[in-house]
Chain A
C-alpha cells in the first residue's frame, strides 16, 4: 500500500511484516521512533509470540539478539552512535558465530564533542566487525532493503546492518510503498538455522579456538562474506522482479556511463547529488554518480568497472578517519589503482552539517575545473578554525577547543561558568 509516513514508522512496519520472533533494543536518538513503533506493534498482539525484550543497554540488546538467534529465532535490533559502540564486543561475537541478526543503524555522529546529529562515523567504525553493511538513500529503499537483509542474513548465516541516515531519513515523511504480507512472505521464507541451541539435541556454540584453527575460521568468515557479493545482486533482482522497484544491490550508477568525473557517495545524500548532477549536465559537463549500496563486503570489481571511464573521482563521505582522511576513499583507491583516475576526498555532513545543493554545486564545479585538492572539508569555517589555532599558539592554557569555538560563534551555554 502506498502511504505518506515517517521513515522510522515505515521501517518498523516493514520489520514487523518480516515476522521477527525476538526484538530487543535500548532507545537512543535517532533510532527511538523505530523501536517505539515496533514495541507498539508487538504489544498489540499482531506478531503472535514475538517477544519485545526491554534491555538495560546496547551491550545487552546485542547479547539478547545473539542468544535468541542461536536458539533459532529471527532476531532484530536497532541502535545508533554511542549505542553501536557500546555493542562493539557483542557485534564481533554475532558475526564470528555466524548468527543472522538484522540491525538498523540510524546513522549518527560519535562524541566527543557530544552531538546527536547525522553522519556515518558510527557504522563506519564497525566496518571491520564482520557484519554485512548496506546503506540506503531513501525511506522506500530502507523498506525494501530491510526485507532483503533478512533473506541475505539467513541464507548466509551472517548478521546484516542496514544503515539509514538518522533524522534525514528516520524523521522524514516521504511517500513509501509498503509491501503486503504475502509479498514479503514470498521473498522471505521461514528461518531455517544452520546451527541451533536445542535442549533435545544439545550442541555447543562458541568454542575457544587456538592458533591451530583460528586463521581457518577467519578465512571462512571472509569467504562467506565475499559470497554476499553474488547473493546481494541476486536477491535485489528477485525483489525487483516481484516489486518492480530497483532497491539495494551493490552499486547504483547515475549518468556515469560517459562521465569523466564521477562522484562516489553513500546514503541519503545521493539524491541531492543527482539533482546537482542534472544541473551540471545541462551545461554539458560530463559528470555522474556511483552510489555505494553495499559497503561490506566491498564490491571491488564492480567499483573498478563503474569507475573505469572516469579520469576524476570525487568521494564524498560523512565520516573521517582522524590521522588518515577519507575511509571510503581508501577503499575506492585500492580498487582503481592503476587506472590513472585522480581521487579526491570531500568530507561533508559531519555532525549534521547540512550538505546543500549549492555547496555540492560549488564543490563539483571546482572539481570539473581541475582545482579540487586531494582532501577537502566541505563548508569548513576557516576563520573559526584559524582563531582557535592562534589561541592555542598564544597560550599553553588555551582551554577546550569545542567550548572556545562555541563562544566565538556566540552560541549559548558556552561561556565561563
Chain B
C-alpha cells in the first residue's frame, strides 16, 4: 500500500488532486481510495486530502497517519500546519514552489531528509503558462509521477483528460507532462538541488 497526503488551501484543488490520483491508479488496474479531510472547506483555509494505492482491495477507512509521500500544494503552509507529521523516514516530499527548499526555511528538513526524495517544483508557474490559470494540481501530479514512480505519467494524463476534457484538459495535461519532464531531467543529475 502506498499512501499519499496532500496539503493545500480551500479552492486550490487538493481534493480534486487526490481524486485524480485515485482514478489514475484505477486506470492502471490497481485499487485506490481518495478522500478529503472534512469540515474546513472554506476558501483559503488549510485543507488535507488523502489517497491510498494498493495492489489489493482496500478495506480500511481511517485517515492516513504515516504517509509514504506528501504533496504540498501551498508552500505557505509548511510553517503553519504540521505538514510533515507522521511522514515515513524515507518518504517523498513534493513542494509547489518556484524557490528552493532552503528559501522556504526548511534547511533542517533538507539536511536530514534523503535529497532524492525531496523535490521542489514550480507547479503554479507551469500551470499559468500551460493553462493560463494558477491551478497547480495537474503539474504536481506529473511531478509526483516522476519523483515516486508510484503512478505512470500516462495514467495521470489520462485521468486529467477524462475529468476535464477540451482545452482545460489539454492545458492541464501539458502542465503535467512538463512537470514530469522537469523532475525527470533533474533526477538524472548527480546531486540536484
Contact = CB atoms under 8 A, between A and B. Distances in A.
Given A173-B23, A173-B32, A175-B31, A357 B60 contact: yes
Contacts of A168: 35, 61
Contact of B22 (A4, A165, A169, A271): A4
Interface string A101-123: 00000000000000011000000
Contacts of A271: 58-61
A172 to B, nearest CB: 4
A173 B65 contact: no
Interface residues of A, number: 29
A33 to B, nearest CB: 12
Interface string B73-99: 000000000000000000000000000
Contacts of A373: none
B65 A356 contact: yes
Contact of A167 (B23, B38, B58): B38
Interface string A225-256: 00000000000000000000000000000000
A354 B39 contact: no
B30 to A, nearest CB: 9
A23 B130 CA distance: 42
A354 B26 contact: no
A272 interface: yes
Among the interface residues B23, B36, B57, B62, which one has the most CB atoms of the partner chain A within 10 A?
B62
A4 B57 CA distance: 13
Contacts of A172: 33-35, 61
A358 interface: yes
A171 interface: yes
Contacts of A274: 59
Interface string B3-20: 000000000000000110
B63 interface: yes
Contacts of B58: 174, 271
Interface string A327-354: 0000000000000000000000000101
B39 A352 contact: yes
Contacts of B57: 175
A352 B26 contact: no
A168 B65 CA distance: 16
B147 to A, nearest CB: 22
Contact of B38 (A171, A173, A357): A171
Contacts of A165: 61
A327 to B, nearest CB: 21
A363 to B, nearest CB: 13
B33 A174 contact: yes
Nearest to A118: B38
A354 B38 CA distance: 11
A185 interface: no
A356 B50 CA distance: 14
Contact of B26 (A4, A30, A171, A272): A4
B38 A117 contact: yes
A352 B38 contact: yes
A6 B33 CA distance: 10
A89 interface: no
Interface string A361-402: 000000000000000000000000000000000000000000
A171 B63 contact: no
Contact of B59 (A6, A275, A358): A275
Contact of A356 (B33, B36, B63): B63
A173 B38 CA distance: 14
Contacts of A117: 38-39
A30 B36 CA distance: 12
A156 interface: no
A354 B63 contact: yes
Nearest to A7: B35
Interface of B: 18-19, 22-23, 25-27, 31-36, 38-39, 57-63, 65
Given A175-B57, A275-B60, A357-B62, 8 more contacts: A3-B26, A4-B22, A6-B19, A168-B61, A171-B36, A173-B32, A271-B58, A271-B59
Interface of A: 3-4, 6, 30, 116-117, 138, 165, 167-169, 171-175, 268-272, 274-275, 352, 354-358
14 contacts: A6-B19, A171-B35, A171-B38, A172-B33, A173-B32, A174-B33, A175-B57, A272-B59, A275-B60, A352-B39, A354-B63, A355-B62, A356-B62, A357-B60
7 nearest interchain CB pairs? A271-B59, A4-B26, A173-B34, A172-B35, A268-B61, A167-B38, A173-B22
